[in-house]
Structure 1
Amino acid sequence: MSSENAIEVESLSKCYQIYDKPRDRLMQMLLGNDERRFYREFWALRDVSFKIPKGQVYGILGKNGAGKSTLLQIICGTLAATSGEARVAGRVSALLELGSGFNPEFTGIENIYMNAQLLGLTRKEVDGKLDKILSFADIGDHVSQPVKTYSSGMFARLAFSVAIHVDPDILIVDETLSVGDAWFQHKSMARMRKLMESGCTVLFVSHSIDAVRALCDYAIWIDGGTLKMQGNVTEVTNAYMNDVFVEHNKIILEANDVTVNGLPDQAPAAEIEGMALTSPVDADGATSSKEEPADGAVLRIEQVGLVGADGRPCRKIEQGEDLTLAVDVRFYKDLKNISVGFLIKDQFGQDLTGESIFNSQRKGTDVVAGQLLRVRFTSCNQLRGGQSYSIALRINQVSRWDRSDNVTIYADELAAVFDVMADVDQPMWFKFKMPFKVSY
Structure 2
Amino acid sequence: MSSDIVITVENLSKCYQIYSSPRDRLKQFFIPNFQRAIGSEPRNYFREFWALRDVSFEVKKGESVGILGRNGSGKSTLLQMICGTLSPTAGSVETKGRIAALLELGSGFNPEFTGRENVYMNGALLGLSGHQVDDRFDAIASFADIGDFIDQPVKTYSSGMLIRLAFAVQVQVEPDILVVDEALAVGDALFQKRCFRRIEKLVSDGTTLLFVSHDQESVRTLTSRALLLKQGRTVTWGKSSDVVLEYRRQLHDEESSYFTAATKQLAAKAQAAATPEPPADSADQPAGSSDTVSPAAAPRSDKLSFGDGEVKIVKVETLNGEGQDSTVFFPGDEIRVRITCEALRPVTNLNVGVRIRNKEGIKIYSWGTLNQDMRSRASASDVPMFWEKKFSAGETFSVELSCDCPLGMNLYEIQATVTFEETPDYMAQRVLHWIDEAAFFQVLMNRDVNFFGGVADLRMNAKW
TM-score where L is the length of structure 1: 0.90
Match of 2:101 among 86, 94, 110: 94
| Aligned 1:344-363 pairs, distance under 5 A | 344-362=356-374
CA deviations over 1:44-68 (Å, ceiling 9, x no partner): 1000000111111111111111100
Pair 1:70–1:280, CA change in 2 (3 A): closer
User: 1:205 aligned to 202, 212, 217, which one?
Assistant: 212
Measure, in 2, the Cα distance between the counterparts of 1:281 and 1:213. 16
Could you tell me how far apart the structure 2 residues matched to 1:20 and 1:376 are?
60
The separation in 2 between residues aligned to 1:326 and 1:406, in whole angstroms, is 22
> In structure 1, what residue type is equivalent to 2:404?
C
> What residue in structure 2 maps to residue 429 of structure 1?
453
**Any conservation in 2 of the 1:230–1:236 contact (CA below 8 Å)?**
yes
CA contact (8 A) 1:397 1:409 kept: yes
Structure 1 or 2, whichever has the larger Rg, is: 2
CA displacement at 1:271 relative to structure 2? 3.5
- Cα pair distance change 1:100/1:433, threshold 3 Å: same
SS in structure 2 of the partner of residue 32 of structure 1: helix
The CA distance in 2 between the partners of 1:373 and 1:410, in whole Å, is: 14
**Equivalent residue number for residue 17 of structure 1:** 17
Aligned to 2:180: 173
Moved more, 266-275 or 68-77: 266-275
The Cα shift of 1:280 comes to 7.9
Q: CA RMSD in A?
A: 2.4
Identity percentage of aligned residues? 39
1:308, distance to aligned residue in structure 2 (A): 3.0
Instruction: Report the alpha carbon displacement of residue 122 of structure 1 after superposing the two structures with TM.
Output: 1.3
- 1:32: which partner in 2? 32
The amino acid of 2:4's aligned partner reads E
- Does structure 1 residue 383 correspond to structure 2 residue 407? yes
Q: Determine the structure 1 residue equivalent to 2:333.
A: 321
SS of the residue 1:244 aligns to? helix
1:133 CA displacement: 0.4
* 1:392 and 2:415 aligned: yes
Distance in 2 of aligned mates of 1:221 and 1:336: 35
- Residue by residue, what CA displacement relative to the aligned partner does 1:284-334 show, whole Å, maximum 9, x if unpaired? xxxxxxxxxxxx953432211312345443322223211001100112211
Change (3 A) 1:279 1:270: farther
Distance of 1:404 and 1:266 partners within structure 2: 28
Contact 2:304 2:436 in 1 (8 A): no
Alpha-carbon distance in structure 1 between the residues aligned to 2:300 and 2:222:
27
In 1, distance between residues paired with 2:135 and 2:16?
A: 43
- Mapped partners of 1:61, 1:366: distance in 2: 39
Farther-moved stretch of structure 1 (389-398 vs 59-68) = 389-398
CA displacement, residues 62-93 of structure 1 (integer Å, 9 cap, x when unaligned): 11111000000000000000000111111100
Residues in 1 aligned to 2:14 and 2:127: alpha-carbon distance in whole angstroms? 27
Give deviations 1:154-191, integer Å, cap 9, x for gaps.
01100000010111001010111110111111111111
Is 1:214 matched up with 2:221? yes
Which one of the candidate residues 392, 400, 403 is aligned to 1:368? 392
Unaligned 5+ residue runs, structure 2?
34-40, 268-286, 375-384
Amino acid at match of 2:370: F
Q: Compared with structure 1, are the counterparts of its residues 217 and 176 closer, same or farther at alpha carbon in structure 2 (3 Å cutoff)?
A: same
Distance 1:418 1:222 in 2: 34
**Whole-Å separation in 1 of the counterparts to 2:229 and 2:452:** 39
Contact 1:24 1:39 in 2 (8 A): yes
- CA displacement at 1:339 relative to structure 2: 1.2
The count of residues paired between Structure 1 and Structure 2 equals 422
Q: Return the match for 1:416 from 425, 439, 444.
A: 439
The secondary structure found in structure 2 opposite 1:110 is helix
Q: Please, which moves more after superposition, 110-119 or 250-259? A: 250-259
**Pairs within 5 Å for 1:218-257:** 218-252=225-259
* Conserved 8 A contact 2:312-2:433: no
